[in-house]
Structure 1
């Protein structure tokens, strides 16, 4: 492993990503499993984007944000899984220090975007269900563009802050990352300098960025539940609660794993626990989103069938 001399101290310039398992028989199984999960994620989310773009009836705020979520999920999974698969094929686990920081930056960006888009979609459903007569005047194209642009700006600024703070740390002894990508928690554990500032920023600014949208989601769904309970038809109530239940399942999965990894005391962390949690929100959740958010939706089913029929029978 290459080192760079810095005064009397050598600084690590490369890391080793151990992956999910060191056992050869497990590695083969995990490679096949993650390859299939990645392909399903990319294909499922790409079909959602194509279906929404090709159906004029879906050019409304709800599906605008859903297409953004599908794009972000493709990028999110592509930030970590392909590198892991390539490492397995070529038999190398090395990642340069700069590449490690770049990967961490994009993980932060797309995790934040998932976070913001879940909140915006919850707000959109709140306006649609609780204020249906004012929906067209409130959820304008200008507001939708502003919410999407603002989310991208805040996500990139937040990722840049944490990446710059990580870049100031020194890594001089151990360079082995017991993970399948460069995550902030295992990197801080490897640092031979004081990471207390990084931890403080994660718990304060990082907590604010993650918890604020989560509170907005909870508030939106509380109002939605209150409005649904006033629906006289049991069929209408069940349909609305079924949809909200699916959304809340993804929200719980996404936020539960992130809070377990980043906002619990470092003394409670273990390698297996953190790895399992990050697999859930970086791989499993993006794979499930097309099914939960779209295939349970009659409009999306119609658009997908229409798109496939148009491809098979152009005339």
Structure 2
């Protein structure tokens, strides 16, 4: 059976609308203040992630396996914000809620690709911390630039493939009824539920992908920190424990910022008002890309040192 066909062996005519209508924030009062907030968040995200990427490129001391992943996270955050926020602002500020069928699928692909890569980047960083603390003598043998490039490439490849399958399944759906998407972008769940033919493959994917992209990574991170806690308990002095734990502080904050809002929204389920759910989900999409670079600049000694060094050089030049 062809994965992308909703019925095998049948001559099917797929109804593809010219446009979808993104309903999103319509009907929510005082949204103009939220749009101002979105603009602020987007500007901080672009500047912050660009600074982090620039520091890593310019400072040879940061050309290490860990900062390959940090660079990738900053790149993903920058692209994720740029694929989502400008389009959201254009849609709701201009009042042009219609988006073409092909553009909507492309929109879905890129937004979900970068959201998923944020999760996998946090997993890779937790792996880096696990090896650094539990096997410190073997760290530079196990975690190399080559291995980190390989792991990062594998994450990109798997997420591109998963999102291509998601979009491919959408091309086999017929939209002969409503084309109004009750979300702030071309969202997977609200879209495939509009189909008037068999949407079972997309329904299965809607349960499978969050499990693989969100809950399995979160479980891996929790197990990682359980192993780290056991390793720290074996360290002789409290000062050494504190020093080792400090190296994990930035990553723990990133994990909390990314996963806690998602867990709260999904746990509350139907108890949360639809409008509040849309606002909450949009916040989970836009806040981590803004806060991640701030956390790394403030919490990571290597990045703080690099920023200070380049600021001093800039002052001398001027």
Which band: TM-score by shorter chain? 0.7 to 0.9
Aligned counterparts of 2:15 and 2:206: Cα–Cα separation in 1:
27
Which stretch shows the higher mean deviation, 165-174 or 33-42? 165-174
SS at match of 1:190: coil
For normalisation by structure 2, the TM-score amounts to: 0.86
Q: How many residues align?
A: 307
CA RMSD of aligned residues (A): 2.7
Tell me the CA shift for residue 253 of structure 1.
4.0
Native 8 Å contact 2:20 2:181 kept in 1? yes
Tell me the CA shift for residue 79 of structure 1.
1.2
The C-alpha deviation readout for 1:55-76, integer Å capped at 9, x for no partner, is: 1111111111101100000111
Unaligned runs of 5+ in 2: 1-11
Change (3 A) 1:191 1:266: farther
Tell me the CA shift for residue 222 of structure 1.
1.1
Tell me the CA shift for residue 199 of structure 1.
1.5
Kindly indicate whether residue 18 of structure 2 is the aligned counterpart of residue 13 of structure 1.
yes
Aligned counterparts of 1:169 and 1:264: Cα–Cα separation in 2:
29
In the TM superposition, what are the counterparts of 1:37-76 in structure 2 within 5 Å? 37-76=41-80
In the TM superposition, what are the counterparts of 1:96-245 in structure 2 within 5 Å? 96-204=100-208, 206-241=210-245, 244=248
Tell me the CA shift for residue 269 of structure 1.
7.8
Aligned counterparts of 2:80 and 2:209: Cα–Cα separation in 1:
21
Aligned counterparts of 2:36 and 2:240: Cα–Cα separation in 1:
42
Aligned counterparts of 2:17 and 2:299: Cα–Cα separation in 1:
49
Change (3 A) 1:9 1:146: closer
The C-alpha deviation readout for 1:138-177, integer Å capped at 9, x for no partner, is: 0122211111111110010011111111221122222222
Q: Who is 1:276 aligned against?
A: 279
Kindly indicate whether residue 314 of structure 2 is the aligned counterpart of residue 298 of structure 1.
no
Unaligned runs of 5+ in 1: 1-6
The C-alpha deviation readout for 1:277-309, integer Å capped at 9, x for no partner, is: 422331011111112233211111111122223
For normalisation by structure 1, the TM-score amounts to: 0.87
Aligned counterparts of 1:8 and 1:230: Cα–Cα separation in 2:
65
Larger RCO (CA under 8 A, 6+ residues apart): 2
SS at match of 1:171: coil
Aligned counterparts of 2:68 and 2:258: Cα–Cα separation in 1:
21
Change (3 A) 1:293 1:221: farther
The C-alpha deviation readout for 1:239-293, integer Å capped at 9, x for no partner, is: 54455455334324423455677x7898778633542342233101111111223
Q: Who is 1:289 aligned against?
A: 292
